[in-house]
């Protein structure tokens, strides 16, 4: 049966809390809010979730679905292969208590008392210094190592993770990598080196803003979380979830970890950068996605909804492969793309994104 396209109009607004850690290819908060309010009415309750629906985002990225769900009294679990995505999502979704704000204040106070003269000799010789010296002025690198060690000494886990998320942004801001892609960064080499950026000042400003944004949060659910995992082999039981809201990768594969490569170096993390799918061939892309489609069908309850936000290029293939995996397409919505990373990939302008509403049949 042919499903007619319907346009939805969005304001393309994102909550202020997202601003402390920018992320590639995010979607507007309005999409998960629209889906939750339309397809997950509170009338159907789950006894094992405190009377709340439980949804899944198997490509949770920066945690948009998890955060909007928490604001709308809905429990959610996110999955992502990128460890930084998990940390960002959890930093947004975990409410801070009085003792957490006190710990954050102490961390800020300790950094306020620091200045570039204090960091002499803080170069960490245990990591790849060749990479560090390529992207940073040596004095700035020493400051950043000193800052890293101060953050890691924080005993409050939630505050430390929030600070590390902010620290990742400070790393890029204080490096020669001022542009979105590292390959362009050397163009600003002389400018950044001459400016002698103050890493402590940059971090203090960003972290102070992040803490203030956390204070303004109003979350109705306090335990939405993201975990590191592979969407092709999920750890969840059959029929666990009441709904799925997600935005999977694009055919023009994006390296979502690229903005955090410097963070991984400074933290000494060994990250497996094997992409979820390789290349831009559609057949290879969807063959790579098939195990995920099947897993989504397995973990979803019968007669429930799976919503996929995809680009124009991915829409028809997604419909075909999702249908082959046992789903039925109920609605085919779309909205106009408004700037941002979703606007251009590999020189191709994207004019609209599709919100594909699938259903797992009751007999499944």
Higher per-residue confidence, 176 vs 341? 176
Answer for the pair 226, 40: CB distance below 8 angstroms, yes or no. Answer: no
Query: Does 49 score more than 60 pLDDT?
Result: no
The segment with the largest mean pLDDT, out of 155-159, 196-200, 215-219, is: 155-159
The residue range of the domain holding 33 is 5-94+220-360
Helix (H) or strand (E) holding 295, with range, is helix 282-299
Same domain assignment for residues 157 and 256: no
pLDDT reported for residue 184: 45
Residue 171 CB: number of other CB atoms within 10 A? 29
Same domain assignment for residues 268 and 238: yes
Task: Output the domain CATH number for residue 57.
Answer: 3.40.50.150
Q: What is the pTM of this model?
A: 0.87
pLDDT reported for residue 121: 60
Same domain assignment for residues 206 and 224: no
- Taking only the tens place, the pLDDT of each residue in 254-272 is 666 677 888 988 898 877 7
Query: Does 142 score more than 50 pLDDT?
Result: yes
Higher per-residue confidence, 293 vs 143? 293
- Taking only the tens place, the pLDDT of each residue in 303-340 is 999 999 998 889 999 999 999 999 999 999 998 887 54
Same domain assignment for residues 286 and 354: yes
pLDDT reported for residue 343: 47
Q: Looking at 199, 216, 233, which one is the last position of a domain? A: 216
Q: What is the DSSP string of 249-283?
A: --SS---TTGGGHHHHHHHT-------SS-SS-HH
Query: Does 179 score more than 60 pLDDT?
Result: no
pLDDT reported for residue 337: 81
Query: Does 198 score more than 60 pLDDT?
Result: yes
Query: Does 94 score more than 50 pLDDT?
Result: yes
Same domain assignment for residues 315 and 251: yes
- Taking only the tens place, the pLDDT of each residue in 245-255 is 999 988 866 66
pLDDT reported for residue 156: 97
Query: Does 132 score more than 70 pLDDT?
Result: yes
Give dist(CA 38, CA 30) in Å, integer.
Answer: 12
Answer for the pair 84, 169: CB distance below 8 angstroms, yes or no. Answer: no
pLDDT reported for residue 232: 94
Answer for the pair 263, 144: CB distance below 8 angstroms, yes or no. Answer: no
Same domain assignment for residues 22 and 52: yes
Query: Does 65 score more than 90 pLDDT?
Result: yes
Mean pLDDT confidence for 191-199: 61
Same domain assignment for residues 48 and 161: no
Mean residue pLDDT of the chain comes to 83
Mean pLDDT confidence for 287-297: 95
**From 10-14, 126-130, 175-179, 333-337, the region with the lowest mean pLDDT:** 175-179
Same domain assignment for residues 132 and 38: no
Same domain assignment for residues 110 and 187: yes
Same domain assignment for residues 241 and 355: yes
- Taking only the tens place, the pLDDT of each residue in 22-35 is 787 788 888 899 88
Give dist(CA 348, CA 21) in Å, integer.
Answer: 26
Query: Does 76 score more than 90 pLDDT?
Result: yes
Name the domain count of the chain. Answer: 2
Same domain assignment for residues 238 and 211: no
Same domain assignment for residues 107 and 233: no
Which residues are CB-contacts of 326 (< 8 A; sequence separation ≥ 6)? 294, 297, 360, 361, 364
Answer for the pair 238, 326: CB distance below 8 angstroms, yes or no. Answer: no
pLDDT reported for residue 51: 59
């Amino acid at each position: 049966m042919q499903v007619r396209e319907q346009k939805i109009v969005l304001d393309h607004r994102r909550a202020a809390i997202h601003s402390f850690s920018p992320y590639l290819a995010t979607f507007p908060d309005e999409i998960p809010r629209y889906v939750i309010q339309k397809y997950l009415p509170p009338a159907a309750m789950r006894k094992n979730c405190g009377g709340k629906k439980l949804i899944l985002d198997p490509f949770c990225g920066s945690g948009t679905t998890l955060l909007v769900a928490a604001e709308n009294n809905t429990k959610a679990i996110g999955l992502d292969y990128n460890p930084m995505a998990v940390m960002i999502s959890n930093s947004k979704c975990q409410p801070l208590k009085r003792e957490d704000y006190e710990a954050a204040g102490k961390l800020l106070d300790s950094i306020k008392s620091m200045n570039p003269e204090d960091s002499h000799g803080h170069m960490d010789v245990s990591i790849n210094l060749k990479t560090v010296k390529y992207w940073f002025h040596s004095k700035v690198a020493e400051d950043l190592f000193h800052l890293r060690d101060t953050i890691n000494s924080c005993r409050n886990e939630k505050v430390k993770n929030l600070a590390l998320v902010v620290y990742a942004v400070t790393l890029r801001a204080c490096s020669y990598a001022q542009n979105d892609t590292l390959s362009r960064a050397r163009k600003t080499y002389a400018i950044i080196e001459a400016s002698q950026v103050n890493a402590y000042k940059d971090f203090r400003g960003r972290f102070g803003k992040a803490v203030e944004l956390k204070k303004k949060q109003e979350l109705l659910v306090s335990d939405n979380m993201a975990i590191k995992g592979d969407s092709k082999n999920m750890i969840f039981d059959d029929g666990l979830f009441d709904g799925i809201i997600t935005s999977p990768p694009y055919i023009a594969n994006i390296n979502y970890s690229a903005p955090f490569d410097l963070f991984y170096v400074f933290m000494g993390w060994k990250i497996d950068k094997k992409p979820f799918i390789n290349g831009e061939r559609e057949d290879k892309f969807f063959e790579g996605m098939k195990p995920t489609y099947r897993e989504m069908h397995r973990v979803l309850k019968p007669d429930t909804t799976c919503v996929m936000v995809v680009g124009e290029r991915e829409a028809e293939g997604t419909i075909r492969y999702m249908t082959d995996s046992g789903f039925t397409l109920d609605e085919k919505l779309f909205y106009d793309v408004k700037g941002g990373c979703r606007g251009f990939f590999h020189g191709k302008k994207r004019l609209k994104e599709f919100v594909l509403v699938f259903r797992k049949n009751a007999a499944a």
